[in-house]
Each structure stands twice: as structure tokens, then as C-alpha cells.
Amino acid sequence: MIYEGKSLAVKLLDDGFAELVFDAQGSVNKFDRQTVNELDEATAALKDRSDVQGVLVRSAKSTFIVGADITEFTELFSAPEDEVLSWVEKTSQVFDRFEDLPFPTIAAVNGFALGGGCEMALACDMRVADTSASIGLPEVKLGLMPGFGGTVRLPRVIGSDNALEWMTTGKDRKGQQALEEGAVDAVVAPDVLTDAALSMLKDAAAEKLDWQSRRAQKKAPLQLNKNEATMSFSTAQAMVAAKAGKHYPAPHLMVETVQKAASLDRDGALKLENQGFVKLAKTDAAQAQIGIFLADQQVKGKGKKLAKSSDKSIDLTAVLGAGIMGGGIAYQSAVKGTPVIMKDINRDALDLGLKEAAKILGKGMERGKVDAKKMATTLNAITPTLEYSTLKDADLVIEAVVENPKVKASVLQETEETVSEDAIICSNTSTISIDKLAESLKKPERFCGMHFFNPVHRMPLVEIIRGKDTTDATVNAVVAATLKMGKTPIVVNDCPGFLVNRVLFPYFAGFSKLVLDGADFTKVDKVMEKDFGWPMGPAYLLDVVGMDTANHAAGVMADGFPERMESIENDPVTLMYNEKRLGQKNGKGFYNYGTDKRGRPTKDAADEAYSLINQHAASDQSFEKDEIIARLMIPMANEAIRCLEENIVGSAAEADMALLYGLGFPPFRGGVFRWIETMGLDKFVELADKYAHLGAIYQVTDGVRKMAADGKSYFA
């Protein structure tokens, strides 16, 4: 044994070649500080060995190396800038020293080789992947750029155009695509990976392969003439500007760094990378996106733990109500392998539900993501029916009928009389109290809410709402079923609007009050989209939700929280609803919807909407961007805080992920609690107090005021 650590070991094989094997104590290999130190020690042990002709790098696990240990970043990045720079310089130099070993090196890549794992492979002279491999540099998804030499080596291996596309999108490549783009030298079957890599390594040692020139190319300036460089980097800059926009600094800085480093050798280029990495590490966007990653891990870990505790298998699902939502739920169950019964009282509705599933699959076929076999298998797994009797063998029944308490109660009651004693019954309600609906059931302990978001196949979140009588066994089984559907479950306790809608409607109320105070709804939308980063401004979102749905939900919230969410006199939403301007449902709301001469959808601010609003609003006023953001976001933040304080949601991380997955909260802001923390709790309280005169939704709780005074954090 040449070297043995806790995460990796190096041994000399019989024929004079060494094998460096990553095999961390956990389930995956990753570059934490210990592993980096061990790599450096192993490199030092190899450097002066005269009996070593080359080194094969591989993993003993089912995947190569998943990247850096993100859990170390939060503490590290809070350190002074010079300390972060020192860390990344020293770490990247470990990879340099490995790259400079006096004999050829090769990486045998299986499974994921992401971030630092990809950079480890790039530090080798050659790379062989098996058919399971996925290789990439996803740091941009954390608001960062590669820090262990990725921005230097990848452009010199596959060219700057391909490298910038890899890095600025963060998308990984399967083995064959990586081969076609030049990132690996061969792709083989998993069972011959080590042998194939060792064979290539021996050829290199015998000088049948010119490994020295490969290494020299990685250490030299980029081979681009002036015209090629101008074209390459201007194209990349335009692509990043179009796709990433102004709120994500990482892809912009990557292009700038690779461009400036193009004329430099490895050492000069690495200095620029180190500096860029530190600059990004200190941005709010990186803090937010790293926070999202950690919160996502927390949410998924909690979901898996609950699912593991379930002793009930969901082998047949039933959906009651076959409209767009019911069809979407049925599709989601079927496409993930669980047969589903789709029940309705109307044959036309069943046809609509099946068409919805077929439409989703058809679009998948157009994009090449679904083949004819998958389409047929999925549609055959959906059984449409008009009869309740077909539900008798269902393990999980999801009611998705009209959002009316009496109708839902009747359907749930009839369902309970039909299904087996141990079947679980859920309601896909967005606002109606689960405890109220449970009153219609004899066994409320097997009942909970299962709130999907539209469109079901795209929206990752499912809110699972626990009623006062819902058992842990019921929740655990529904969490397991949700995960099986490919969705992210977040368990919340019952209250009007649950979590997502409860925090959304104060945001809408803030918008309505602002419009009544004279703001132009198109300008508000523009600020909330372009400046805050929402995918849709509030007026546009209300049109998408539907004014009938929004007006009904606002009524539920007013009844549930009359002290804060009382009905607003002359609320623009109600004005639209009364005039049957329902939004996209009938092509007219705040905006008018149609198509142009080429059949492309159009959206134009509606003169009719202005006329309705102007009868009741103050004269047109201009509001600063910061005031618009404050007047909409403070009510949302305050309600989210109340949900946490009242134990409606278990943690700030879960609340942030729910808004990210359920509403499209801007990822670069990290969620509503991360937005508050980035501002500072004391600054948030100060800002909210400035608008407290506008009503109860602007008034902070005693809890957050105390936390601010004590210097506490929601993420401690």
C-alpha cells in the first residue's frame, strides 16, 4: 500500500501501475476538506516513486465523485474574503500537483462525476467513462463557478464554446455526449471500465499515446486566434444575457474569467478563477442558491424518512374528478408506474382527463423525451370510469372535484362507503379546511389533504395537509406515494389556505391596495418580474389563477383570518370577477389574451381593466421600485413568519422550498425567509414598521421583533 486514508487509498498493482481509489466512509465520494488533504498526501507519496509507471483513478462506489461537500460552504463563505481565497487557492493547487505527477494518469469514470469530481477527472491526462457516467460542472446552480481548475482545464480540453455552454448552464453530459464533445477518450460497458482504462494507461506509459502533449495543452494558453476569441466570447455573453438575466452573476463572471484567462498559462488562469470564485462566494445569489440546495436536501431527507416509516404499499391509485387537474394527477401516477382509476360522473369530463394526459405525453414525444411505448404504457395504466364500485381495490383515493365544501363532503362520504377499510382518502383542495372536510367521514384518521399545483406534471410541490385526526401512518403513506409520483412532499398542518395559499393571498392583498392607491398594474408586474425576479407579476398571476378561483380563495382567507385578511372594498380582483373578466380562462382579465397573425399568443393590458379600476382608485401615482416590492413582499413575509410561529410548517427551510416549488419564488433570492435573512431581521422589522399604518398584514409579530433584537436567525 502506497497510501491509505479514510476517503481514498493508493496501492501498487502487479505490473508497476498504481491505483488511486476513492472510497469515502459515507454513501458517496465527495471533496470535503479531509478528502482534499488526503489527495494531496497521496500525490506526495506517489511523486517520488520510481517504481510507478502511471496512475489509474477510480471509485469503489457506484458513482465517481459527486462534487465538493456543500455543507462546509456556509461556514467557510462567512469567513473574511482573504481566508476564502486562501482556501480555494490551496485546494486548487492540490489538483495542480496531481496533474504534475511525472507519469501518465487516467480517470475511470462511473456514475456521477460532478463539480470537483469532474475537475478531478480533468486533472488526469486521459479519461474513460462507462455508460452510466454523467459528467459536468453544475456550480452555476449554486451561484458559483468551478473553483478547482474547471474554468481552466475544460476549455483547453473541449474548446471554449463547449466549455462555456457546460459551465453556464450547469447541465451534465452522459458518457456518449461527453465523448462526442471531447471530454472523455472512450465510453465502455461498466464491467470493463477498469480494464479499458488500465489498457489505455499502459499504452500511454509505452508512449503509444502522447499524454505529454495533452497535459501541455491544459497548461498552455487557449489556442484561439483573435477572431475566434471574439466570436466565441461574444456569443457566450449574448447567450448568458438572454438566459440568465441580470440576477445571476455566476454565468456572466464565468464568461469574463475564461475570456481574460484565454491568453494565460495554467497558473495565471487559475489565479483569475480563484478570484472569481471568491467574488461569487460572497454574493447574495450564492448564499441563496446554496441555501436552496441545503434546504432541498433537508426536505427530501425528511420525506424519505417519513416514507421509510410507512408500512402501506400504494399499488393502485384513484382520482375523483377528471378535469385538467384530475387528468394531470392521473397522468403523474401512471407515468411513474402506479396504475390509476380516473372516476367522474360525466363521460365528457373523462375524455377531457384522458386528453390532458395524452397532451402531456404528446408534447414529450415532440421533444424526444417520450417514445411510443412509454405513451401507450402510460395511457393504458389510466382506467376511466363512471362507477364508484371500481374504487373498491384502490389503496389511495385523491378527490379532485370542484372547490366547493358541500360537493367535496358529499363525494368523500360516498367514497368512504365504497373503498376498503384501510384505503387512504385525500382531498386535492387548495383552501378548504381538512378538519372541516373530515367531518363527513367516519374514519377521519385515514384522511388528509394532498394539494397538487397546476400544471401537475411541471410543478414539483405537493402540500400534504395533516388534520387534527390524521394519523402518522396516513401521512407517511401519502408522503411515500408522493415521492413515488416524482413530487416533493412538504407536510403542513391544517389552516385556511394551508401554507402556500395562506402566504400568497396577503401578497395579492398588498397588490390590490397598491393599485387602489393609484399604481399601474402593468408597472407593478414589471417591477416584480424584472426587479424582484418572480416569473409572473401579481396581475398576470391572478389572470393565470383565474379571477373566480382567486375571489373564492380570498373569501375563504377573509373568513379564516378576519383580523388581517378582511375583504378589501372595491378589490380589483372582485371588480374583474363581477364583470366576468376571469383571466386566461376566458381571455380577459387584467390583460386581454389572443393570438397574432402567426398564431402566437398575445397579452395586452386591457383598457377595460383600467376603466373598472379607475372608477374606484386614487388618481394615477408613480411608486418607486423599492416601495412596490416592499408593499407586496412584507405581507407575504409576515404571513410566512406566522405560519412558522404557529407550527403550520416545520421549518424556514421547508417554507422556502414550498414557495420555490409551489409559486416559483425567485431562486436567486432563496425563498421568503432567506430574503428576510439577507436583508437582516432588524432591517426587515424597520421596513415593515414603515408601512405598518397600511394595515394588519404589514405589522410584524412580537416573535420576529424579539428575534431581531436578540440577533437570532431562522436558519440557526
**What residues are labeled active site?**
451
Look at the alpha carbons of 31, 35, 37, 38 in this order and tell me if their dihedral is positive or negative: negative
Q: Which three cell numbers stand for residue 632?
A: 407586496
Region for 233 from its dihedrals, namely left if φ exceeds 0, alpha if ψ lies in -120 to 50, beta otherwise: alpha
Local structure of 326: helix, strand or coil: helix
Region for 603 from its dihedrals, namely left if φ exceeds 0, alpha if ψ lies in -120 to 50, beta otherwise: beta
- Between CA 552 and CA 687 the distance in angstroms is 31
- Between CA 669 and CA 661 the distance in angstroms is 13
- Between CA 26 and CA 501 the distance in angstroms is 39
Q: Measuring CA to CA, which residue among 489, 207, 181, 203 is closest to residue 332?
A: 489
Q: Measuring CA to CA, which residue among 150, 147, 164 is closest to residue 229?
A: 164
Max CA separation in the chain (angstroms):
89
> 111 and 88 in contact (C-beta within 8 Å)?
no
- Between CA 290 and CA 140 the distance in angstroms is 10
- Between CA 706 and CA 681 the distance in angstroms is 10
> 335 and 690 in contact (C-beta within 8 Å)?
no
Residue keyed to cell 414598521 = 689
- Between CA 316 and CA 291 the distance in angstroms is 37
> 393 and 366 in contact (C-beta within 8 Å)?
no
Compute, in degrees rounded to 10, the torsion defined by CA atoms 473, 474, 478, 479. Answer: -40
> 116 and 148 in contact (C-beta within 8 Å)?
yes
